[in-house]
Each structure stands twice: as structure tokens, then as C-alpha cells.
Amino acid sequence: MAELDPVIHAQARLRIMAALSGLPAGDRMTFPRLQELLDMTAGNLSVHLTKLEQAGYVDLVKSFRGRTPTTSAALSDRGRVAFDDYTAAVRALLDPNT
């Protein structure tokens, strides 16, 4: 039976990974846009992004637009592979004949 990555498997982190996986490689999503899309509090999103960053699945970039700090997120190459592996494991669990 396929093993599900526990870092990704938490509902909030799975939602983050799914949202970021829809971006073309090299594209980023701003923290406020991700927060709005996922309807998460800033604190909750921040905690889960940090966990994904520590696992090497997400790259966070902090910069400034004028004087306003901005954070953007993207899946790392490792994160894309991990998410592809995770979705393959879920498919295998749902349909073991494939």
C-alpha cells in the first residue's frame, strides 16, 4: 500500500500544495492572494507555509514593494516531485488496479 507524505497530508498543507501546484514552474503567488484563495487566517497560513518550507517543498521570498513588505510562495522542484508522488499514492489507494 502506498505511503502518504505526512507533511503534505495535513488538510491545510494539502490545500496549499494543490494551489501552488497549479502555477507554472517559476511563478509565485503572493501571501494575501493565497490567503484569500484558501480562506485561511494569516497566522494559520504562515504556520503551514513555514512547515512546508522547512521540508523543502515551498520557497518563500520576502521582498518590498516600496515600503510594504511582501511575501510570495512557490513550490520548489522538490515540492513538485513530492506533490506528484503524493497524488500518485492517493490514486493508488483509490484504485489499486492501476
Q: pLDDT band for 3, please (50, 70, 90 cuts).
A: confident
Confidence (pLDDT) at 98: 61
Query: Is there a domain that residue 19 lies in?
Result: yes
26 vs 34: which has the higher pLDDT? 34
Domain that holds residue 25: 6-93
Indicate if the pLDDT at residue 10 is higher than 80: yes
Query: Is there a domain that residue 72 lies in?
Result: yes
Look up the CATH number of the domain holding residue 61.
1.10.10.10
Indicate if the pLDDT at residue 79 is higher than 60: yes
Handedness of CA 79, 20, 31, 4 (dihedral sign): negative
Query: Is there a domain that residue 11 lies in?
Result: yes
Query: Is there a domain that residue 28 lies in?
Result: yes
- pTM of structure: 0.91
Q: What contacts 8, CB < 8 A, 6 or more positions away?
A: 14, 17, 57, 82, 83, 86
User: Which pLDDT tens digit goes with each residue over 50-77?
Assistant: 999 999 999 999 988 888 889 999 999 9
